[in-house]
Structure 1
Amino acid sequence: MISQRPHNQEEQTSTANSALVHDLRMDILFTRLGAIYGQNWWNNYRTDSLLTLAKQEWSESLQRYDNQVLKEVLVVCRERKIYPPSLPQFMDCCKDIQNRRMPNPLKNVISKPASREVAEMHIKAMLKELRS
């Protein structure tokens, strides 16, 4: 079996720091969701092993989103959601917020109006449909 552990000390430190950052982010996220939803949130994670497993799953799933996206989703949850979100629901909110940040390439495209001849042709076709 091939070991997939980092080979040198620098890689080990980098990997450990990355895992620590994700664990810390999830600790903060779970604490804040617990503050927002109280027992409705914490009742989902009655044992330490279940809480650890959930944090690991959330961490892996949410690592593509930066802290600001997570904060914005927390605001949405606090202001609009009566019940605590599941991981897929939380991810959908993250995607929505991230998509709003992305520039729309079609926004900057200048469209020119159709020519008068084209407009008249379409109007005549519509009138013909209406009369028949």
Structure 2
Amino acid sequence: MTISQLSVSLEDASRVIAAGQAKAGEIGSPSNVAVVDAGGNLVSHIRMDHAWVGSIDISINKAFTARAFDIATKDLGENAQPGQQFYGIQDSNHGRVMIFAGGIPLRHDGQVVGAVGVSGGSGEQDQTVAEAAAAAF
């Protein structure tokens, strides 16, 4: 049996990041934008001028989370609240799991091939930038 897994390329990641950077600039939210491949490994990352240094790891981990669970971090966060089915999930994977908006899986023909993660603004701003970035994929 042969199993093949498609994955985002550096060219794909560059296009996704450029779209995220453009949207972040448009809305005035200096951001960190990260793209991971199908294995959850970092392909590319940018930190815009004046974006928080503390958000570097958060953006990378949002992308990792979106790929690790094939779900937008915003949606995972809604299911990770007390009493919900994924409560406590943020403590798994050595603390890499992010449960707030800004991480979105990247899909090709229905298959998750990577993810984008954005951090630097409010949850709404991060989600807006991530959606624009993912749309460029």
Give the TM-score band, short-chain normalised.
Answer: under 0.3
Which one has more relative contact order, counting CA pairs under 8 Å at least 6 apart? 2
Q: What is the TM-score normalised by the length of structure 1? A: 0.26
